[in-house]
Structure 1
Amino acid sequence: MQIKSIKAYHVVQPFVDGPYRMSKGRQADAFDAVIVAIIADSGLTGWGEMAPLGNFYSAAFPAGARAGVPEIAPHLIGHDPRGLASIGRLMDTVFKGHPYIKSALDMACWDLAARAAGVPLVTMLGGRESDMAETYRVVTHGTLDQMAALAKRIIAEGCRRLQVKVGGNVHDDIERVTTVASAVPKGTVIFCDANAGWTPYQARQFADATRGIDYTFEQPCTTIEENMSVRRMLDKPMVLDESVTSLEEMLEIHRLGAADGLTLKISRLGGVTRTRQIRDVAVDLGFMITVEDTGGAEIDTAAMAHLSLSTPQERRLHAIAFHEWVTVRTAFNAPPVTGSHMGIPDGPGLGIDVDPSLLGKPFFEIG
């Protein structure tokens, strides 16, 4: 089997609930996605997607993805998409760095390889460990009343896991988290995610003032060393997200004992291949794992779901259903969400049925 042609689409995906707000005034109104179709000479098509959260969240930006895919795609024509390691090395050879640009192409090759084998992607990723993954929902930055109302609404809709955005003014965030924790039932799982918005001094202030609240601290500071300095005085679990950019960084986090859990973003790591590699090593090293991405709709959510459900259940933290965040559809047979749990769609590969008519005209095509 050989890659016959490649198409790339640009799809803006506005958020259902309006702007997504983080610390330091950062916000986005939509995911700005690049969707890739890789067509083999067998007639099968594999799909991939990546979508940065604005220009501020990861070392990725939408215009960069749209410019980079046409630079890499011509080199893939004629190669076997099932040679996933070989495809990855080829992309790294012809285009140095910028893993986010390669993510959708890598994902599409995995989808195509699994479709060719007639098996769901979860099988190729190690096998299904459970039928459903528990999901979390995000309480974004806002006023005390807004955040409490949103947390109550999420709980009323059946979710029991909240990620509360912090990382702004420390004293305001202490009030925010205290208010949210008081507004939800006892036993609600809470993660306080600063998105690397604090100095160690500020993070320690927050941690000291909120000792009475049961939560997991997520990425308070920017560097691994800064987070480690906070962890030394912390009496709560810590998860790192933005710090996990490569296998080498993950191993450094383990060497220092800087975290109990990791959040792996597919596009930040460069695709399904490297996410699976880092996930498997991290599981063996004893980390708790969340697999997600910087954004996207049905295609990317399906990849996240397959990676989540092939993660051992005892090492899995939770998942997120990004396709429910946005107002546009890109595919049928989306990952099923029941209450606070998400599964994978039936069928080979990602299991979804992408409708090209929903994507508009390709901005790039080669074959």
Structure 2
Amino acid sequence: MCISTIRAYRLRQPFVEGPYKMSKGRAADAFDAVIVSLTSDTGITGWGEMAPLGTFYSAAFAAGAEAGVAEIAPHLLGRDPQAVAQLGRLMDVVFKGHPYVKSAIDMACCDLAARAAQVPLVTFLGGREGETVELYKVVTHGSVDAMAKLARRITGEGFNRIQVKVGGDVRSDIERAAAVADAVPKGTVIFCDANAGWTPFQARQFADASRAIDYVFEQPCPTIDECLSVRRAVDKPMVLDESVTGLEDLLAIHHKGAADGLTLKISRIGGVSKTRSLRDLAVDLGFMVTVEDTGGAEIDTAAMAHLSLSTPEERRLHAIAFHEWVTVKTAKSPPPVKGNRMGIPDGPGLGIDVLPERLGKPFLELSERP
């Protein structure tokens, strides 16, 4: 089997509920997705997607992914898509760094290989661990009253896990966190996520003033060492997200004891296969793990669901249903969501049926000469 055709698309995915707001005025009103399809000489197609959250969240942007995919794609024609690790090494040789550029390609390879084997992707990733994964929802940054109102609405819909965006003015964020905690039912799992927005000084101010609130502290500062300095001064569990970009980061976090949990973003790490490797190591090292991505619709969410449900239940934190965030629908049979839990689609590979006609005209189309 070999890759005979490669297509790539750029698709804007507006948010259902308007702009997504973080601290310091950071906001986006859509995901800007790059979607890749790889078709084999046997007629099987695999799909992949990456979608950065604006240009402020990760060291990634859609125009960069578009340009990078066009550079890498010619090197993949004629290659065996089932040799996923080999293709990953090839991409690293011909295009140094920029893991987000390679993410959708790797995802498409994994999907194609699993479809060719007639097994769901979750089987390739270690086997299914449970039927569904619990979802969380985000309380985006805003006024104290608006955040408390949103938190009440989310928990009123049956969600028991919320992520509260902080990382701005410390005193105001202390009020925000307290108001949200007062607004939700007792026992609600709260993550206070600063998205690396604070200095250690500010993070310790927040932690000291919010000791009475039961929450998990997520990525208070930009670097591992800064987060570690905060961790030493607080009595809350800590999860790191932006700090995890590869194996060296994971090992440093473990060696220093800088966190209790990790959030692994597929595009930040470079694709499904590399995320699976880090996920397995994180589990073996005793971390709690969330597997998600920076954004996307049905394709990316399906990959997130397969990775989440192949993570041991006792080490799994939660997941997010990004395909419900956006107004566009790119596939049939998306990851099924019932209440506050998400499963994986039935069928081989990702299990979804992508609708190419909804993706627009490809910006790249290459075929191997007969």
Q: TM-score, normalised by structure 2?
A: 0.99
Hey, what's the Cα distance between the residues in 2 that align with 1:63 and 1:316? 33
Tell me which residue corresponds to 2:152. 152
Name the % identity: 75
Determine whether 1:58 maps to 2:58: yes
Counterpart amino acid of residue 105 in structure 1: I
Tell me which residue corresponds to 1:27. 27
SS for the counterpart of 1:235 is: coil
Tell me which residue corresponds to 1:314. 314
Tell me which residue corresponds to 2:223. 223
Counterpart amino acid of residue 64 in structure 1: G
Tell me which residue corresponds to 2:302. 302
Tell me by how many angstroms 1:144 deviates: 1.2
Hey, what's the Cα distance between the residues in 2 that align with 1:149 and 1:71? 47
Counterpart amino acid of residue 260 in structure 2: D
Counterpart amino acid of residue 69 in structure 1: V
1:55-134 to structure 2, matched below 5 A, reads 55-134=55-134
- Which contiguous aligned blocks of 4+ residues in structure 1 show a shift greater than 2 angstroms? none
Tell me which residue corresponds to 1:330. 330
Tell me by how many angstroms 1:234 deviates: 1.1
Hey, what's the Cα distance between the residues in 2 that align with 1:51 and 1:168? 25
Tell me which residue corresponds to 2:354. 354
Counterpart amino acid of residue 135 in structure 2: T
Hey, what's the Cα distance between the residues in 1 that align with 2:10 and 2:245? 25
Q: Please list the CA deviations of residues 83-133 of structure 1 after superposition, one character each: whole Å capped at 9, or x if unmatched.
A: 011000000011000000000000000000000000000000000000000
How many equivalent residue pairs? 367
SS for the counterpart of 1:25 is: coil
Counterpart amino acid of residue 50 in structure 2: M
Tell me by how many angstroms 1:315 deviates: 0.1
Hey, what's the Cα distance between the residues in 1 that align with 2:215 and 2:28? 26
Hey, what's the Cα distance between the residues in 1 that align with 2:121 and 2:199? 40
Q: Please list the CA deviations of residues 3-50 of structure 1 after superposition, one character each: whole Å capped at 9, or x if unmatched.
A: 001000111000011101111111101000000000000100000000
Tell me which residue corresponds to 1:256. 256
Tell me by how many angstroms 1:136 deviates: 0.3
Hey, what's the Cα distance between the residues in 2 that align with 1:157 and 1:336? 17
Tell me by how many angstroms 1:145 deviates: 1.4
Tell me which residue corresponds to 1:202. 202
SS for the counterpart of 1:96 is: coil
SS for the counterpart of 1:222 is: coil
Tell me which residue corresponds to 1:288. 288
Hey, what's the Cα distance between the residues in 2 that align with 1:283 and 1:210? 30
Q: Please list the CA deviations of residues 192-234 of structure 1 after superposition, one character each: whole Å capped at 9, or x if unmatched.
A: 0000000000000000000000000000000000000000011
Tell me by how many angstroms 1:259 deviates: 0.1
SS for the counterpart of 1:24 is: coil
Is 215-224 or 146-155 further displaced after alignment? 146-155
SS for the counterpart of 2:74 is: helix
Specify every segment of 5 or more residues in structure 2 that has no aligned partner in the other structure, as ranges.
none
Could you say what the CA RMSD is over the residues aligned between the two structures, in angstroms?
A: 0.4
Counterpart amino acid of residue 354 in structure 2: V
Tell me which residue corresponds to 2:342. 342
SS for the counterpart of 1:23 is: coil
Tell me which residue corresponds to 1:136. 136
Counterpart amino acid of residue 74 in structure 1: P
Hey, what's the Cα distance between the residues in 2 that align with 1:106 and 1:9? 15
SS for the counterpart of 2:12 is: strand
Counterpart amino acid of residue 89 in structure 1: R
Hey, what's the Cα distance between the residues in 2 that align with 1:258 and 1:58? 21
Counterpart amino acid of residue 311 in structure 1: T
SS for the counterpart of 2:72 is: helix
SS for the counterpart of 1:204 is: helix
Q: Please list the CA deviations of residues 40-76 of structure 1 after superposition, one character each: whole Å capped at 9, or x if unmatched.
A: 0010000000000001100101110111101000100
